[in-house]
Structure 1
Amino acid sequence: MAGYDAESGGAGRGLDGLPVMALSVRESCRLDADGVIETLRPHEAAGYLVREPHLIVSRPAAARRLNLSEFQAFDLLELYAFVRPARYCLPTLGGLMKALSLDLPVATLEDQCMAMRAVAERLLAEAGAEIWRYRAGAERVAGMMARAGWAWGPMVMGAVRRFPDHSRDDGLRVWTALPEWEDMGPPPPPGDDPVDPASSESRLAELLGNASETREGQRRFAAAATHSFRPREMEGGPNMQILEAGTGTGKTLGYIAPASLWAETNGAPVWLSTFTKNLQRQLDQELSRLYPDPTRKARKAVIRKGRENYACLLNIEETLTAVMQRGALPLGGGADRDSVLMGLVVRWARFTRDGDMIGGDFPSWLGAHFGAARIAGLTDRRGECLYAACQHYRRCYIERAGRKARHADLVVANHALTIAQAANRYGDPDLPKRLVFDEGHHLFDAADSAFAVALTGLEGGELRRWIRGKESGGATRARGLRNRIEELIADDADAKALLDGVLEAARVLPSDGWASRVAGAAAMTRFETFLMEVRAVVLARANNVEFGLAVEAGVAAPPPALLTAAGQLAEALSGLARPMVALAASLLARLDEDADILETGDRGRLEVAARSLKLRAEMVKSWMEMLLSLGGTVPDIFVDWFELDRVDGRERDVGMRRHFIDPTKPLADMVFTPAHGVLVTSATLRDRAADKEGDGWAGVDLRSGAKHLPVTARRLAVPSPFDYAAQTRVIVVNDVNRMDAAQVASAYRELFLASGGGGLGLFTAIKRLKATWDKIAGPMEEAGLPLYAQHVDPIDTATLVDIFRDDPHACLLGTDAVRDGVDVPGESLRLLVLDRVPWPRPTLLHKARRDAFGGTAYDDMQTRMKLAQGFGRLIRRAGDRGVFVILDARTPTRLLEGLPEGVVAERLGLAAAIASVREFFGR
């Protein structure tokens, strides 16, 4: 490919001279520069792509399909990301056409080739138009990308130079174009005026509008939710309302109504917490009903995520500087992918809504194009922030979001962040006093993750990087503790000595390359020696070493060598914790002693550093407690075990883990108790089988943490308005051998064909998912039914679900992550197939909880809930119809009792099941 010619302004080969390639599973189509159409087999298509850059959609998808490594291409997705930065688009040809309002035939591969050329023409014309809204800084960025060998560079330069850029933006130094945030005074203490049911119902009516039909269940929900927005009656006893709202009730607006009223009346935010980032996005869309004016919405509603989700401007600057120092590529060279990535990143950073790179307006599919690790490296994922010492501090996306949240009415967060905020800042007056937990059936799992302790190689290495920063070569830009606080304590000899002590003691933590040294019995530190002994115990005691998953071993009767290593590591960690605690105390003392001279930025840095040190010192102390308990008695509230974590058979991590048997106890203590009102809601909270015996709420109290509060929670179940008996069909297929991959794959193929698409296949193992995709992708595509798959397609899960939702003929294969995050109304999801009963995975943690919470009854409850949640994905609105299929003849009837009342499962052979699906959908 010719390099970029700065003198010619990017003139060179135009679109008419580009060959185009459209790909499918079995064959491909090539349109050459002369308009000749050629049908190709996969190896022929691969040969063409390697020899010459083609116009395609998604280079990673093409590489995956044709088993290619790096190759040059004119990728339409990259062109779109440049021309329309921070604008949503599905990473498919159909998604591009929809975003550009192009209505062209794409039924055949030949049609697709012509449509791809039309998409490119539209995008280049847009970039060359006088009224192009994204012109600011574009020429400088395009020039850098062109010099780096970006295929589109010359053509884009030719387009953007048609009209001058009057913005004067540098383009590359994007931070100079971002507005600075301004500090506002601390908000006054929140009021405590109640929200009454009548007011809540009135606000609900406003949200729905005059044209909407009143739903009795939704009205009851909005009225009952007000209990969480009344003054609490006793310290440590929040008003807790548990609301199960069947699908179709409209629970989201049902709690937005009283929450927004309380926030407006009392001048304080309400946090609305969901389980997944995808659900955060859906909730944000619902808030547009409350705030139709985008400017007002930006002030009143804020999405909050962990720092690791947001772009770090300093990381962007340092990475951009590094790639630009490489200079232009020689003629004929391939593209510098890092430079191309950074060009697209700075274009996005100039126009993004909030700087969210994980689930926000950042093109998520860029991770597949350039590597997810490169994207993650641009966020604040290591706790390395310099805060006020950073030159970009006053333009920082993260700081801006945090400040907006303090003055907003509604803060949309996820369970992980909400729990972490409360647990890590216990007693902080800025914490919200009113909390809403949507998707409340995930609270147990969220709390389990939040309060677990992992004494592992990865965690130890992360702590070492946080303390010591970058110690070796490579792309990491980790900034250590010395970088963050040294100038703040320059005149304090004692604090400097403590800092030196922390840095020196941290040498015991695992350094780069620890995993290979541990596996090769060549440990360099006490920490690595402990990991080496743990690994040996796991391999000696585990039963499933030959499989590719994580393997576990109990902590009982540890060998002498392991006990010795644990004792020595505990001693070394004690030597690390002491100076960390002392340094934190010294920094806090500085806040008091120098209160009259410290600038605001320095105060903030001292406070953040002290809090971070205390938190990490507490983690180190927890590690010590775990080590010292080896060979003795583990506190009965915990379960400990050793684990060797593996991915695709490769060792990833090793160490010792500790979880609460009941994680809702710390959830209640640290999150619920300080609050004044808590609302927990979901479509599936009760175990319906237990409810028939009058004990359905007992399981809810167990999983939500309500049983640990001194005040009894109020409860209400609002039934779904849907007629599930008429709208659904449930089939257990009883003649497919679930151990035979070929039989399972053929069952999926024929069921998907029978429904005409709109099928979601859920698997309990990634290996079986991949095997099924390999066997059926070709036949499905030949039948006009595109098949997508998690862990196969180089696309993140949320985007895969979006693609699936967009095409009623598509089918999707996935795991639990898809089941929990999918919300696909209408025909796009009309058939859901499980490969087998989703029993709990038999881990040591599960065994401990099973023993504590009721034995087989606990297993049954968990499995019934998963089946109910999966079934609930089928019917999302009144006109939906769907079939729920389980390919497991061993499905016990008692597990199906968790399905809605009136739904009766049929046990059929595969042929009869296929006929039933055809008949149900009128095919």
Structure 2
Amino acid sequence: MPHPPDHAPVYPPPVPALAVGAEGGVLVFPGGEIETVRPGVGLQSRIESLRPMVCHRLHVARRLGLSWFPAFDLMELFAFACPAEFASPTPGGLARALGTAPPDSLEAEALVLPAAAMALFARLARTASKERETAVGLAEVMGRGGWEWTFPVLQALGAGPEPRSGASRAFAVWSRLPEIPEFPPLPPPGNLSVTPDEARARLKSLLGADSEHRVQQADYTSAVCPAFTPGKRKNAPNVVLAEAGTGVGKTLGYIAPSSLWAEKNGGAVWISTYTRNLQRQLDQELDRLYPDPVEKARHVVVRKGRENYLCLLNLEEAVRRIGASPREAVPLGLMARWAEATRDGDMMGGDFPGWLADLAGRERTLGLADRRGECIFSGCDHFNRCFVERAVRRAGQARLVVANHALVLVQAALGGLDDDSHPTRYVFDEGHHLFDAADSAFAVHVTAQEGMEMRRWLLGAEDAGARSRGRGLKRRAEGLFEADTDAAEFLDDALAAASVLPSMGWQARLAGGSPLGPLEALLGAFREQVHARARDGERGHSLETEVVPASEALVDCAPAAREALEALFTPLQQFSRALLKSLDAEAETLDSAVRHRIESLARSLEWRVIAPLRAWRDIVRGLGEPTPDGFVDWLAVERSDGQELDVGLCRHWIDPTRPLAGVLSRTAQGVVITSATLRDLSANDPDPEASWRVAECRTGAIHLEEPAIRAAVASPYDYPSMTRVLIVTDVARDVPDRVASAVSALFRASGGGGLGLFTAVSRLRAVYDRIAPELARQNLPLYAQHVDAMDTGTLVSIFREEENSCLLGTDAVRDGVDVPGRSLRLIVFDRVPWPRPDILHKARRDVWGKTRYDDRITRLRLKQAFGRLVRSSRDRGVFVMLDSRTPSRLLSAFPPGVVVERVGLAEAVAIVRAENGGAPREP
């Protein structure tokens, strides 16, 4: 195929470029004319007729109040030309990614777009010859689906205009991926200790000669070493609770002894996090340990649940439908480009750009993961190229596995990890989230949606027009038990009994009083009791009420529901036992692939169905009786915008760290639990012993046989000189206009770099609507969760890159943002982040001290939020609370020595302006 000559550049299509701001946008035509556009009547048809060049079509449409419109989207072109790479989906983000100066006005943003297109065409022209044929085939088929960029992309790739036969083969990325090598099982790890001196030496090596060496970081490294010593007694792991203030450098601090222990003992250390942001950060930090990518790939694996990875079988079956739905070629072509370039197939925090799901549609991106547990394991044609299987096998050979709390807790609770390894050493970073992770992992929800998912897993997709493969248990078990008539009978009985589970249309049936079967009848009784007793929340929020005393209808429905659950549970358990029995009975004849399928299917059956059914059966047996000690039950109707999404009964541990401690006792010999916010230093109880008891309660260490080793290393930052904390006393927090005016004034005083944190989405949206145009006129771009058509990770990336932008967010931003430098120099909290007073919280506060418990949670949230403000030794910032009712007893959340000032809004604005070098006032 000819290569386009360097002197013949490909030019973008002759259409206007459209850039948008908070109040509207500008069109810049190829001839240089500039037209201002505003939301209004006639704009939709006008934009559709122009087919403009844009950056992130959904974002542009949202800002202009438009529905979808045809356009040349630069982010689609970027995804095709630069697969598995990231650029913030703004004109400025594109400019930075392509190495040009970011724009400083709307007109300049529009002019960036054709220039970016030229740069991307030039990159396509440099495509390696072995990749060129595939890229051309994809572009051709995408063109048949209406992709606007097809003609110039083909030009850039040096392809002629004539169609080629066999272009659709380019989508078969699964056939071009390398096969996964087989690895022998590793022997059990040794028991050699890591001494503090060894760990400090490894830390020094990781930092290098040119890096800053901090005494606090070395002390922290020494402090966590006891977790890497041999266990003393069975079921009594060595646990270290290590609090490290921001700036200590705890990540490298625990990587040092972890990597040493893994090397000395031939075992793996599992490093678990709560947020995808920290997983990504950890992966990057490990480049210091293994600068050679090939060596790093051998020794480091990022592990997540299989629902995070692209399923090649799902991709193949979606591609097969392109003939009937040609427009699907566009998103699937972009996915094929990414799938061939990705490092590990991770679509949730890996090298998959989050904005691609917004542009290409979630069904044809994130929806291609195995989110319903339908994997057929070695029965799949792509098993030996599967991204999940690759991660699982590599994790069995790795020294360091970077995972997340949910995966570790669920799999450890099942008795082992799905790579058949049994790690003995864990590091739980973001340890302050262990309580929430355990709460989720060990809870039971008897709900309509859970029942529908269970039904689908067992029976497959029952709708003849279903687009997902939806294979049921019978299909996944094919070929595993032909000679075992008992197993076949158990399976048939179970699948017949599964018809009792809730099915599509349950909402209408329950609302109409015509449930289908005993389980839907029970769910209908749940719903009736909730609506009868719960106070209806405003704006269609979810409802909940206590189970006891149970209504007469609920008690009457329980026996039939219990019998239906028993009729399903018993044959499923018998089928699972028959499968596992065959592993021993046919040990000499089973090949490894079949053995793997049986073990994987039995594990999935236990996790997805048997364990939940066992819990459901026990709960339904006790309906009408007091809830067992240690648990809290409630009935809930989940709603959104007035629409009922789910209904059922929830059971949570009051203290979920009890089962967490049991899991750690059974599986671990050494554990590090670390965070910057483990302890709660209450002003009313400054006793360090009390603050450590709080940390032990929140992490489950209090339930372990051996007492945890405690370590606290203070932050090296001089917070009193680097930060100011202000409580504004004259803003009415319940008047949206007053709150919006205050946020706007503060953001303008800081000249951008402001993060607004809200405890309710409705208040966030109200403030955004009021202040976005005003900030835009000051050239201060404003972005917001729940407003902009972008995922949270993308919004944070934009905020990090654009120094004068501002961002509004809720708790996901409060706990997960890492924005060093001037991009974050002001935090404005709309009000005290008290815990939501629901039934679960009520039960816990009754056990743990009522108001003291509320205060503890709130202080830790404030501490987390404040921790976003200073991320490096050069940072400065101001933390502002707009809630005049902030109690003094919460202020110990802030670092010692930081003086909290109660001031009026005018004074707060003056302080923020002064701290930011006198940011200019509005003209």
If the length of structure 2 is used for normalisation, what is the TM-score?
0.95
1:552 CA drift (Å): 0.7
SS of residue paired to 1:917? helix
SS in structure 2 at match of 1:202: helix
Counterpart in 1 of 2:239? 240
Kindly indicate whether the alpha-carbon contact (under 8 Å) linking 2:44 and 2:67 is maintained by their aligned counterparts in 1: no
Query: Residues of 1 paired with 2:238 and 2:333: CA distance?
Result: 51
Q: Which residue is 2:649 aligned to?
A: 656
Which residue number in structure 2 is paired with residue 851 of structure 1? Answer: 846
CA distance in 2, matches of 1:740, 1:475: 47
Q: 2:436 aligns with which of 445, 452, 465?
A: 445
1:175 Cα deviation after fit: 0.7
For residues 48 and 921 of structure 1, what CA distance do their matches in structure 2 show? 43
Residue number among 46, 66, 69 corresponding to 1:68 in the alignment: 66
* Shift of residue 671, structure 1, vs aligned partner: 2.7
CA spacing shift, 1:169–1:630, aligned 2, 3 Å: closer
Identity percentage of aligned residues: 50
Q: Which residue pairs with 1:629 in the alignment?
A: 622
Name which of 693, 711, 714 aligns with 2:706.
711
Q: Tell me which residue corresponds to 1:457.
A: 448
| Secondary structure of residue in 2 paired with 1:91 | coil
* 1:909-920 matches, cutoff 5 A: 909-920=904-915
1:18–1:54: 8 Å Cα contact kept in structure 2?
A: yes
| 1:304-319 map, 5 Å | 304-319=303-318
> 2: distance between equivalents of 1:169 and 1:131?
20
Letter in 2 for 1:357: M
- Is 1:135 paired with 2:132? yes
| Aligned-pair CA distance for 1:296 | 1.0
The code of the aligned residue for 1:226 comes to C
Match of 1:671 in 2: 664
2:385 matched to which residue of 1? 395
Give the drift of 1:632. 0.9
The answer for the alignment partner of 1:88 in structure 2 is 86
Q: Do the aligned partners of 2:138 and 2:167 also contact (CA within 8 Å) in 1?
A: no
Q: 1:423: how far off?
A: 0.8
Q: d(CA) in 2 for partners of 1:216 and 1:108?
A: 46
Mean CA deviation greater in 597-606 or 575-584: 597-606
Post-superposition offset of 1:113: 2.0
- Alpha carbons 1:169, 1:177 under 8 Å: kept: no
Moved more, 46-55 or 451-460: 46-55
Given residue 569 of structure 1, which amino acid in structure 2 is its aligned partner? A
Aligned-pair CA distance for 1:14: 5.7
> Which amino acid counterpart does residue 406 of structure 1 have in structure 2?
G
Partner of 1:204: 203
In the TM superposition, what is the alpha-carbon distance from 1:515 to its structure 2 partner?
2.1
Distance in 1, Cα, partners of 2:594 & 2:886: 62
Alignment partner of 2:365: what SS?
A: helix
The reply to whether residue 611 of structure 1 matches residue 598 of structure 2 is no
Instruction: Name the counterpart of 2:52.
Output: 54
Contact 1:126–1:132 (CA<8 Å) still a contact in 2? no
One-letter amino acid of the counterpart of residue 626, structure 2: T
Instruction: Give 2:475's aligned amino acid.
Output: N
CA distance in 2, matches of 1:645, 1:191: 50
2:212 and 2:308 mapped to 1: Cα distance?
38
User: Residues of 2 paired with 1:136 and 1:824: CA distance?
Assistant: 41
Are 2:730 and 1:747 equivalent residues in the alignment?
Answer: no
Give CA-to-partner distance per residue, 1:94-134, whole Å, 9 cap, x none.
1211221123x622222222211100111112212365785
Partner residue, 1:906: 901
Cα separation, partners in 2 of 1:40 and 1:633, compared to 1, 3 Å: closer
TM superposition shift of 1:32: 2.1
Cα deviation, 1:378-399, whole Å, max 9, x if unaligned, reads 0011110010010000000000
CA displacement at 1:162 relative to structure 2: 4.5
**Residues of 2 paired with 1:516 and 1:546: CA distance?**
22
The answer for unaligned runs of 5 or more in structure 1 is 1-10, 328-335
Aligned with 1:416 (options 367, 381, 406): 406
- Deviations 1:499-519 (CA, angstroms, capped at 9, x unpaired): 111111110111122222222
Residue 470 of structure 1 corresponds to 461
8 Å contact 1:225–1:241 — kept in the other structure? Answer: yes
Per-residue CA distance 1:818-873 (angstroms, 9 max, x = gap): 11110111111111111100001001000000011111111111111111111111
Residue 46 of structure 1 deviates from its aligned partner by 3.9
Instruction: Give the Cα–Cα distance (whole angstroms) in 1 for the partners of residues 185 and 346 of structure 2.
Output: 25
Residues 677-712 of structure 1, C-alpha deviations (whole Å, 9 max, x = no match): 000010111111166123110100100100111101
Superposed displacement of residue 93, structure 1: 1.2
What is the SS of the residue equivalent to 1:688? coil
Please give the root-mean-square deviation of Cα atoms over the aligned residues, in Å: 2.0
Provide the residue aligned with 2:814 in structure 1.
819
1:38 paired with 2:35, answer yes
Separation of aligned partners in 1, 2:257 and 2:169: 46
2:721 — aligned with what?
A: 726
State how far apart, in whole Å, the 1-side matches of 2:9 and 2:712 are.
Answer: 67
CA offsets 1:390-430 (integer angstroms, 9 cap, x no match)? 00000000000001111111100111111112012259971
Partner of 1:7: none
| Structural mapping, 1:472-551, within 5 Å | 472=463, 473-551=465-543
1:892 Cα offset (Å): 0.3
Residue aligned with 2:513, SS:
coil
The corresponding residue for 1:108 is 105
Paired amino acid for 1:746: S
Cα deviations across residues 185-244 of structure 1 (Å, max 9, x unaligned)?
101111111000000000000011111232111111101111000001011110101110
CA contact (8 A) 1:486 1:496 kept: no
1:776 corresponds in structure 2 to 771
1:524-582 Cα shifts (integer Å, max 9, x gaps): 12221111111111111112344432211001111111112222111100100000100
The aligned counterpart of 1:332 is none
User: In the alignment, is residue 587 of structure 1 matched against residue 582 of structure 2?
Assistant: no
The letter of the residue matching 2:92 is G
- Counterpart residue number, 1:828: 823
Q: Using the alignment, how far apart are the partners of 1:506 and 1:287 within structure 2?
A: 47
By how many angstroms is 1:794 displaced?
1.1
Q: 2:23 corresponds to which letter in structure 1?
A: R
SS in 2 for 1:890: coil
* Between 144-153 and 32-41, the greater mean CA deviation after superposition: 32-41
Helix, strand or coil at the partner of 1:407: coil
Q: Which residue of 2 aligns with 1:376?
A: 366
Residue 595 of structure 1 and its aligned partner are, at CA, apart by: 1.2
* Cα distance, 1:373 vs structure 2: 3.8
- The letter for the 2-side match of 1:414 is N
Q: CA deviation at 1:12?
A: 15
Note if contact 1:136-1:169 (Cα within 8 Å) is conserved in structure 2: no
Distance in 2 (alpha carbons) for counterparts of 1:912 and 1:761: 19
Check 1:163–1:355 CA distance in 2 against 1; reply closer, same or farther (3 A cut). Answer: farther
- CA 1:883–1:133 in 2, change beyond 3 Å: closer, same or farther? farther
Shift of 1:163: 9.8
| Cα gap change, 1:391 to 1:16, in 2 (>3 Å) | closer
State the partner residue of 2:213: 214
Q: Which residue, out of 24, 28, 40, partners 2:25?
A: 28
Instruction: Name the structure 2 match of 1:554.
Output: 546
CA distance in 2, matches of 1:867, 1:134: 51
Measure how far apart 1:480 and its partner are.
0.6
Q: Name 2:5's counterpart in structure 1.
A: none
CA shift for structure 1 position 487:
2.1
Assess if the C-alpha contact under 8 Å between 2:237 and 2:668 holds in 1: yes
- Amino acid in structure 2 at the alignment position of 1:466: W
Amino acid at match of 1:604: H
Inter-CA distance 288–27: structure 2 relative to 1 (3 Å threshold): same
Q: 1:692 aligns with which of 686, 691, 699?
A: 686
The separation in 2 between residues aligned to 1:345 and 1:76, in whole angstroms, is 16
Once the two structures are superposed, the pairs formed by residues 210-289 of structure 1 within 5 Å of their partners are: 210-289=209-288
Identify the residue that residue 640 of structure 2 maps to in structure 1: 647
Deviation at 1:366, TM superposition (A): 1.7
Q: Is contact 1:542-1:552 (8 Å) kept?
A: yes
